[in-house]
Amino acid sequence: MHWMLLLFMSLSLPALAELDYSLKPRQIAEDTWLLEGSTDNFAKANGGNIVNTAFIVTEPGVVVIDTGPSKRYGEAMRKAIAAITDKPVIQVLLTHHHPDHVLGNQAFTDVPIGALAGTTELLRQQGDAMAENMYRLVGDWMRGTEVVLPTRTLTPGVQGFGNHDLHLLSLGGHTGADLVILDRKTGVLFAGDLVFYQRALTTPNSPGLAVWLSDIATLQGLPWTLIVPGHGPVATDAKPFEQMRDYLGWLDQLMRDGAASGSDMAEMIRSPIPERFTGISLSRYELIRSVSHLYPRYERAQMTRVDSAAIK
């Protein structure tokens, strides 16, 4: 039995050794570093690294924005930070509860992990199921990963970290509890998944596209100089907002029209995608998901209420 265990270990260790995120921080502003993920879907080839995470090196220490999709990612992120600065990590800020943004929390249990109250509650409710799904999607990259809840409740306002004043905003279009961080020193806007750029947006927890559109207007009105989307490339112009507003408006009108005409869900997911969106990563895949998440609401809105008292 002992020799069989040794054989298994000898076969599995080389495979596990290849699971390297190879994170390479890129400086995008003063004291500010980005770890940019791909715009692909979750896969064993990428280990779930489809997310933008970041960190700010402030005078008292490092502020981390989102921890990534796995314990292994979180550990790689800490190594990447250590390669840039010898200052300690002093705070983690989570933009929302989705697994690609929070399942690296295990690597940061020695520092405060901050999130909106709604984010903590959603992670408490959904975290284990999301982690289980990530294990199915990316396999061994998730080894040892468990859900770690935030330890600090964030409230909207300005929090100072040395010479970096971070404006924390509580919005809700993506999940109902979405933290946005604007660094007043650099103008960098960490928009989380309220902004997808060149990658189709996801809607599993969205309270509604009208809420999301309102959030985009709020973000665009802030004094930003650089936009860091949750997924996709950074931008120094308003194109991410324009693309989001265009896409959300199209998706909303598509489902309104479909519900009004009595189209069923199968018809909706086969809807043609406008040419201007065909170059956006995963546009068809996410249309199918968005219809499944949201279309029943549009159908219900078309139903005529019949009160029993009105029946004669």
Region 79-100: what's the mean pLDDT? 98
Asked if the model's pLDDT at residue 274 lies above 70, the reply is yes
pLDDT at 18: 80
Asked if the model's pLDDT at residue 247 lies above 80, the reply is yes
Residue at token pair 């902004």 = 195
Look at residues 93, 135, 87 and name the one whose alpha carbon lies nearest to residue 115.
93
**Higher pLDDT among residues 6 and 257, named by residue:** 257
Region 127-138: what's the mean pLDDT? 97
**pLDDT band, very low/low/confident/very high, at 303 (cuts 50, 70, 90):** confident
Helix (H, G, I), strand (E, B) or coil at 85: coil
| CATH for the stretch 19-237 | 3.60.15.10
pLDDT in tens, 144-187: 999 999 999 999 999 999 999 999 999 999 999 999 999 999 99
pLDDT at 85: 98
pLDDT at 8: 41
Helix (H, G, I), strand (E, B) or coil at 243: helix
pLDDT at 304: 65
Look at residues 91, 38, 43 and name the one whose alpha carbon lies nearest to residue 64.
91
Asked if the model's pLDDT at residue 190 lies above 80, the reply is yes
> What sign for the dihedral angle of Cα 182, 228, 202, 137?
negative
**pLDDT band, very low/low/confident/very high, at 76 (cuts 50, 70, 90):** very high
Asked if the model's pLDDT at residue 11 lies above 70, the reply is no
Asked if the model's pLDDT at residue 6 lies above 60, the reply is no
Asked if the model's pLDDT at residue 312 lies above 70, the reply is no
Residue-range domain boundaries for the chain: 19-237
Asked if the model's pLDDT at residue 1 lies above 70, the reply is no
**CB neighbour burial string for 1-16, b if at least 16 within 10 angstroms, e if fewer:** eeeeeeeeeeeeeeee
**pLDDT band, very low/low/confident/very high, at 17 (cuts 50, 70, 90):** low
Q: Tokens in use for 181?
A: 């961080």
**pLDDT band, very low/low/confident/very high, at 307 (cuts 50, 70, 90):** low
Region 289-308: what's the mean pLDDT? 85
